[in-house]
Structures are given as C-alpha cells and as structure tokens.
Amino acid sequence: MIASDDGSGSPALDEPDLASLGDLDRLIHEPARLSVLASLYVVAEADFVFLQNQTGLTAGNLSSHMSRLEAAGYLAVTKSFVGKRPQTVLSLTPEGRTAFDRYRRTMEDVLHGLSDR
C-alpha cells in the first residue's frame, strides 16, 4: 500500500482511518451492551427473558446494562404484569437505532481497512 503523502494528514481512500475509532460510541462498544443492542436491532421488541437467552447474560448483568442504555435514551423499557408475572419489554428507540447504525458503519469501515489483503 502506498501511504498518503499529500501533506494533509488524511489517509488515502484505501487506507484504514484509525482516527475514526476515537469517535466510537463507547456506551455501545462494551461487548455485553453491543450484544443487547444487536439482539434488539433485529426485532420490534422483546422481553427480558428473551434477551437473557440471546445474550447469555445473567439477570443482574443484563439489568445493569439495560439501565445504562435506557438512561442514554437508546432503549425504551415497559414494565407490566402478565397475570401475576412481571414482564419487562424492551425495544430500541429511534436514537438507539441510529446510534447502533453509526457504530456498525464505523466498525465496518475500520475493520475493512484492517483486513489481511
């Protein structure tokens, strides 16, 4: 690969832009939260138990990550009762969906640039 030497400091088109890694949303970058967001991204909504099964997280762990994502405005959480059983239903907010999309695109660009060509 020929390095960019135009003096601008910007990488050439076919070079990995590692600087963009600094713009990554660190809230999403945490593996457990990324797992939660990816699981919710592909469905309309799901409850706590379904997410636990999908991510392999313990209830306490999932609950703590859920709270952080909810506080960031990425998750909408609805608590209700089905009969006598409590049910917590989660879905991505439009902001959460946009943030996940942005994160995914950034990672794809960086990882593509780092591929073993």
Which residue type, as a one-letter code, is found at position 116?
A: D
Q: CA neighbours within 13 Å on the CB side: how many for 107?
A: 12
Q: Which stretch binds another protein (CB under 8 A): 3-11, 17-25, 48-56?
A: 48-56
Cα 58 from chain centre: 19
94-99 contact pairs (CB < 8 A, 24+): 96/37, 96/40, 96/69, 96/72, 97/41, 99/25, 99/28, 99/74
Q: Considering the complex, what minimum distance in angstroms separates the CB of residue 23 from another protein?
A: 19
- If one asks whether residue 98 binds another protein (CB under 8 A), the answer comes out as no
| Cα–Cα distance measured from residue 52 to residue 38, given in angstroms and rounded to the nearest whole number | 13
Q: Which stretch binds another protein (CB under 8 A): 3-11, 20-28, 85-93?
A: 85-93
Q: Which stretch binds another protein (CB under 8 A): 4-12, 19-27, 33-41?
A: 33-41
Instruction: Give the x-and-dash track for 55-74 against another protein (CB under 8 A).
Output: xxxxxxxxx--x--------
User: Which residues of this chain interact with another protein, rule CB under 8 A?
Assistant: 30-32, 34-35, 38-39, 41-63, 66, 77, 79, 82, 85-90, 107, 111
